[in-house]
Chain A
Amino acid sequence: MLEMIIISSVKVIVVVVAVLTCCAWSTWLERKVVAYMQHRMGPTLAGPFGLLQPIADALKLIFKEDLVPKSVEKVTFALAPIISFVPAILTFAVVPFAADFEFFGYQVTGIISDLNIGVLFVFAVTSLGIYGIVLAGWSSGSKYSLMGALRATAQMISYEVGYGLSIIGVILVANTLSMKELVEMQGSDSIWFFQNWFVFKQPLGFLLFLTCAVAETNRCPFDMAEAESELVAGYHTEYSSMRFSMFFISEYANMLAVSAVGATLFFGGWQGPLLPSVLWLLLKMFLFMFFYIWLRGTLPRFRYDQLMNFGWKVLFPLALLNTMITAAFVMID
């Protein structure tokens, strides 16, 4: 019993620290990649290749003055950054990060909690993330913030439908809701190690997942909630210092969480030859993150009505179609 608690706690601490570290260097990655796409150098001064830039940024944000405008609702204003941050981290509780391994004689499973409804847990937690944004916008008592929050609410409700439906195809094919079993199913010993990845069985489902995931995390080209050319900074206009940086970190944590879920559901999670299993997952997550940044570097922002039309008139019917076709194939099998 005590052994189990200690092993679990160590796993939790390691995963949370790893996620936060990845968050910090994702900001560096984003700045560097976008800079090269625009023929700039990006951060170069702090450390080699500007690698210490995230630390410099963190120090700067901590020492900035924490401004709280007069018209805010104090309690919700303070709660909102935390509410947006926690669900992003919670997702990693059900993501299998490595194969089962032995550590100082103890058998350790490569997942914090192997829930038999892991996929549903991911959705439950993701759907709570919206409250951080809504409450931030509402409690700020500023028009720009409120507009950003309203947009975010409508957008996330619309895209959550497509997000959920896009994964149903995978669940139908795999016939399980456990993330661990999903990963184990996608393994293969042959030289074509990727032959069982669900991305090949569910190509349409994957594209829908990818699109909805970008919208769910409020990233470009779906970043209506913080469209800086119209809304100053959207829902976090009134935030400064550490409170702002919590929104900032939670955006990256959300991206990482979605990347991890995408890698697990469609690209076989930690499965892969030669390299250690953790590295495979990190590599696949890195590809997702790079794709995010690539999108931001190349695509213009959607107009708001286009965004809603796209969600309801294109993504939603396609997701339903994908579900029906998959269900029919599963029936025939």
Chain B
Amino acid sequence: MSLDLAIFVISALVAVFGATMMIFQRNPVASVLYLILSLVGQAVLYVQLGAAFVGAVLIIVYSGAILVLFLFVIMMLNLRSSADLGEPSPPVSRFVKYFVSCLIFLELSFIIRESLGAGSTTSAGIVTMADDSFGSVESVATLLFTRYLYPFELTSVLLLSAIVGAVIIARRATEDELPPQPEKAVGPISQKTNEGQE
């Protein structure tokens, strides 16, 4: 039990520390790194709860793919400090941000209060699920393909439309869509002489 508690405390501290540092960092790359640290801490917590599958998916999808893309974009834009991020946001939008954050915080604490009764609480105060198969590959798959089949399939349609949208935004204009261009002289030398005449 003591080993369990030690693992829980350490990984919870790591997760919270990572999340806090992520917010307070000025350097975007450091923020991403702390977010990864936080995610790894959370994955350990999932594994400790018996939901090894959820933990592994958290690492594979978020740390392994999505945050790599974050880093990719930050590197492409060469953001090295908060100065590169542009103007600070206006006070109105700041107020909205605080309001929404408080709302989410209240919601979360409400959910946590509600769910405390659902599982059995061990002596160390760790909530464990009564069901052994909680979070295993089988139970997640069963839920996804029976009870939540339609929402699950709808999500894939949503993602597909997002992909199509991204492709449309990123594609090059075809020949006949381009605005008609004035005839240009070919080659750098003849272009230069044209400029000279003007």
Min C-beta distance of B159 to chain A, whole Å: 14
CB-based contact A124/B68 at 8 Å:
no
Could you tell me the dominant secondary structure of chain B's interface residues?
helix
Could you tell me the dominant secondary structure of chain A's interface residues?
helix
CB-based contact A160/B75 at 8 Å:
no
Min C-beta distance of A116 to chain B, whole Å: 7
Min C-beta distance of A265 to chain B, whole Å: 17
Residues of B within 8 A of A160 (CB): 64-65
Min C-beta distance of B164 to chain A, whole Å: 16
CB-based contact A117/B69 at 8 Å:
no
Docked complex Cα distance between A73 and B29 (Å): 11
Report the count of interface residues on A (CB-CB < 8 A): 28
Asked if B63 lies at the interface with its beta carbon under 8 angstroms from chain A, I say yes
Asked if A325 lies at the interface with its beta carbon under 8 angstroms from chain B, I say no
Surface stretch bound by A, among B13-21, B53-61, B184-192: B53-61
Asked if B71 lies at the interface with its beta carbon under 8 angstroms from chain A, I say yes
Residues of B within 8 A of A165 (CB): none
- How many pairs, one residue from A and one from B, have CB atoms within 8 Å of each other in the complex? 69
CB-based contact A120/B68 at 8 Å:
no
Asked if A157 lies at the interface with its beta carbon under 8 angstroms from chain B, I say yes
Docked complex Cα distance between A146 and B33 (Å): 17
Contact of A177 among B60, B76, B137 (CB under 8 A): B137
Asked if A153 lies at the interface with its beta carbon under 8 angstroms from chain B, I say yes
Min C-beta distance of B46 to chain A, whole Å: 11
CB-based contact B52/A153 at 8 Å:
no
Min C-beta distance of A21 to chain B, whole Å: 29
Asked if B22 lies at the interface with its beta carbon under 8 angstroms from chain A, I say no
CB-based contact A154/B72 at 8 Å:
yes
CB-based contact A115/B60 at 8 Å:
no
Q: Mark B120-155, 1 if CB is under 8 A from A, else 0.
A: 000000000000000011000000000000000000
Contact of A127 among B30, B53, B65, B72 (CB under 8 A): B65
Known: A117-B56, A120-B53. A127 touches B64 (CB 8 A): yes
Asked if B36 lies at the interface with its beta carbon under 8 angstroms from chain A, I say yes
Min C-beta distance of B59 to chain A, whole Å: 4
Asked if A256 lies at the interface with its beta carbon under 8 angstroms from chain B, I say no
Min C-beta distance of B112 to chain A, whole Å: 27
CB-based contact A134/B53 at 8 Å:
no
Q: Could you tell me which residues of chain A, from 240 to 262, have a CB within 8 Å of some CB in chain B?
A: none
Known: A150-B72, A150-B75, A177-B137. A127 touches B52 (CB 8 A): no
Known: A117-B137, A131-B36, A150-B76. A157 touches B68 (CB 8 A): yes
CB-based contact A116/B52 at 8 Å:
yes
Asked if A76 lies at the interface with its beta carbon under 8 angstroms from chain B, I say yes
Residues of B within 8 A of A156 (CB): 68
Min C-beta distance of B91 to chain A, whole Å: 33
Asked if A130 lies at the interface with its beta carbon under 8 angstroms from chain B, I say yes
Known: A115-B52, A160-B65. A120 touches B60 (CB 8 A): yes
Residues of B within 8 A of A263 (CB): none
Contact of B69 among A127, A149, A157 (CB under 8 A): A157
Min C-beta distance of A53 to chain B, whole Å: 36
Q: Could you tell me which residues of chain A, from 276 to 291, have a CB within 8 Å of some CB in chain B?
A: none
Docked complex Cα distance between A250 and B78 (Å): 27
A-B contact list, 20 entries, CB within 8 Å: A116-B52, A117-B137, A120-B53, A121-B56, A123-B60, A123-B64, A124-B43, A124-B56, A127-B64, A127-B65, A128-B59, A128-B63, A128-B64, A131-B71, A134-B72, A146-B75, A149-B75, A157-B68, A157-B69, A177-B137
Which B residues fall within an 8 A CB radius of A? 29-30, 33, 36, 43, 52-53, 56-57, 59-60, 63-65, 68-69, 71-72, 75-76, 136-137
